């Protein structure tokens, strides 16, 4: 990669190339649309003046000609002489103006007229031989009268423009490379498994959006690492209790074989299997499936019927709504929320409700239980966090149900939250887009 150009060098080359092309197009436009017409008009005026002056001089009495020559020099900066100027030579280069002047003089005199250059009074003058009155008269004017120097102007503007392009590319390179260097440093930190400092979400819209996405990715990886640590710690802790009971049951079976100990072992194995299954579900990453069209009231009816089989007193309140979403994660989320509601609400009614809010649909599980302290409403979504601190699965569950709900929501771009109801109890809400394609910005 050593031979590759840097972003700053590439920008400098691109800007220089763009400027050269623009300068050439601008020069062509100026020459053909501005300078050429101006040269034609100016040369036509000067041709008329020179031809008229030569004719007038030929027709004047010899005694008045010197006065006419002085007047011609003072009023029009033209010199008229009857002999060839000393050292007159053809010009090496002709600009637009001189070419046009030669062409006009040739047309007016009927013979080829060339512009010669010679020194006159310490200054560079241009001379043209014009026939008049049976003789050849030389009319001259200062070279400075030609005025514009398009080639010099083009070279000057091109040089300055290229320098400005390089300086602009250098400045733009610093402006663009500064956030890219921050991205590179943050990505290197992230690649080492560390949590980088969040990048400033500022600057151009594209860079601000990239910083936002990177920060979002960084937070997700940080949460993933924290979840992994919590999962390992919680799993090792929660497996010790059934393992200890299993060791006790095995010891008792050696001394006094009874069916009760075997049943105890089976229950502990089921508890461990359920715990490991929940941990694997949470750690798997929960990939997104393709969404499908579903009639929400029918889906919620099936979920409510399944909850009633387990003894939950579920009431359904859902209008006919068609959604485009992935069904399996929604089933799992509502199943976990209904299990929590049944555990804490007991035999009290549980309401499964759905409401349409513009382009979104809100699905809720509302119970009449004791609710959750306000400072615990967010914490309960962490793995193995329980409001009930006995650590007993019979009373507090495994502590993974709501964590699975939260991760499923994040994986599918949905929003989930808990809130205490004013009349008592807890409301768990899931917010999904009606179209199913646009994730909800949380």
Lowest pLDDT segment from 288-292, 314-318, 361-365: 288-292
Tokens of 339: 């299990």
Query: Once rounded to an integer, what is the mean pLDDT over residues 259-284?
Result: 74
In this prediction, residue 391 has a pLDDT band, given cuts at 50, 70 and 90, of very low
Which residues, 6+ apart, have CB-to-CB distance to 340 below 8 Å?
365, 397, 401, 402, 428
Judged against a pLDDT cut of 90, whether residue 160 lies above it is answered with: no
pTM of the model: 0.48
pLDDT band for position 232 (cuts 50, 70, 90): low
Give the pair of three-digit tokens for residue 170: 């250098």
- Nearest Cα neighbor of 150 from 237, 323, 247, 27 is 27
Per-residue pLDDT at 364: 92
Kindly indicate the confidence band of residue 418, based on its pLDDT and cuts at 50, 70 and 90: very high
Is the model more confident about 214 or about 96? Answer: 214
Is the pLDDT reported for residue 287 higher than 60?
no
Please give the Cα distance from 320 to 297 (Å, whole number).
6
Query: pLDDT-based confidence at 233, cuts 50/70/90?
Result: low
Question: With bands split at pLDDT 50, 70 and 90, how would you rate the model's confidence at 417?
Answer: very high
Res 363: pLDDT: 92
**More confident position, 390 or 212:** 212
Question: How many Cβ atoms are within 10 Å of 134's Cβ, its own excluded?
Answer: 6
What pLDDT score was predicted for residue 178? Answer: 78
Closest CA to 379 of 410, 406, 339: 406
Q: Is the pLDDT at 390 greater than 50, yes or no?
A: no
Distance CA 107, CA 102 (A): 9
When pLDDT is cut at 50, 70 and 90, the band that residue 235 belongs to is low
Percent of the chain with pLDDT over 90: 7
- What mean pLDDT is predicted for residues 273-291? 64
Query: Residue 398: its pLDDT value, please?
Result: 59
- Torsion angle in degrees (nearest 10) through CA of 184, 188, 193, 194: -70
User: What local confidence, expressed as pLDDT, does residue 161 receive?
Assistant: 75
Q: Show the domains of the chain with their CATH numbers.
A: 7-148 (3.30.450.300), 287-442 (3.30.565.10)
Q: Which of 31-35, 221-225, 230-234 has the lowest mean pLDDT?
A: 230-234
Q: Residues 301-349: pLDDT tens digits?
A: 999 988 888 788 899 988 888 888 888 888 888 988 988 888 877 778 8
């Amino acid at each position: 990669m050593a031979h590759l150009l840097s972003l700053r060098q590439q920008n400098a080359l691109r800007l220089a190339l763009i400027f050269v092309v623009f300068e050439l197009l601008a020069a062509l436009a100026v020459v053909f649309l501005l300078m050429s017409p101006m040269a034609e008009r100016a040369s036509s005026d000067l041709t008329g003046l020179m031809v008229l002056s030569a004719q007038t001089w030929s027709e004047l009495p010899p005694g008045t000609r010197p006065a006419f020559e002085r007047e011609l020099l003072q009023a029009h900066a033209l010199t008229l002489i009857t002999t060839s100027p000393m050292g007159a030579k053809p010009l090496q280069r002709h600009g637009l103006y001189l070419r046009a002047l030669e062409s006009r003089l040739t047309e007016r005199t009927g013979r080829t007229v060339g512009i010669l250059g010679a020194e006159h009074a310490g200054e560079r003058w241009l001379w043209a031989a014009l026939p008049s009155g049976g003789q050849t008269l030389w009319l001259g004017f200062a070279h400075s009268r030609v005025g514009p120097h398009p080639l010099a102007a083009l070279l000057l503007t091109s040089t300055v423009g290229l320098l400005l392009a390089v300086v602009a590319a250098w400045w733009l390179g610093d402006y663009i490379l500064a956030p890219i260097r921050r991205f590179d440093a943050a990505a290197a930190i992230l690649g080492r498994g560390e949590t980088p400092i969040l990048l400033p979400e500022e600057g151009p819209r594209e860079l601000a959006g990239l910083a936002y996405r990177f920060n979002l990715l960084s937070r997700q990886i940080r949460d993933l690492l924290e979840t992994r640590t919590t999962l390992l710690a919680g799993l090792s802790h929660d497996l010790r209790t059934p393992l200890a009971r299993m060791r006790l049951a095995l010891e008792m079976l050696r001394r006094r074989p009874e069916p009760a100990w075997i049943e105890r072992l089976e229950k502990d194995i089921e508890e461990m299997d359920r715990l490991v299954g929940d941990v694997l579900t949470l750690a798997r990453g929960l990939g997104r499936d393709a969404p499908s069209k579903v009639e929400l009231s029918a889906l919620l009816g099936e979920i409510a019927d399944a909850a009633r089989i387990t003894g939950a007193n579920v009431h359904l309140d859902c209008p006919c709504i068609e959604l485009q979403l992935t069904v399996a994660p929604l089933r799992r989320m509502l199943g976990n929320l209904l299990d929590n509601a049944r555990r804490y609400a007991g035999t009290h009614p549980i309401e499964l409700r759905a409401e349409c809010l513009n382009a979104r649909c809100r699905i809720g599980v509302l119970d009449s239980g004791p609710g959750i302290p306000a400072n615990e409403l967010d914490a309960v979504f962490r793995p193995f966090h329980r409001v009930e601190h006995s650590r007993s699965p019979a009373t507090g569950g495994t502590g993974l149900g709501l964590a699975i709900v939260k991760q499923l929501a994040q994986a599918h771009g949905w929003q989930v939250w808990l809130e205490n109801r004013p009349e008592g109890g807890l409301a768990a809400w899931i917010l999904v887009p009606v179209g199913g394609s646009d994730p909800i910005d949380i």
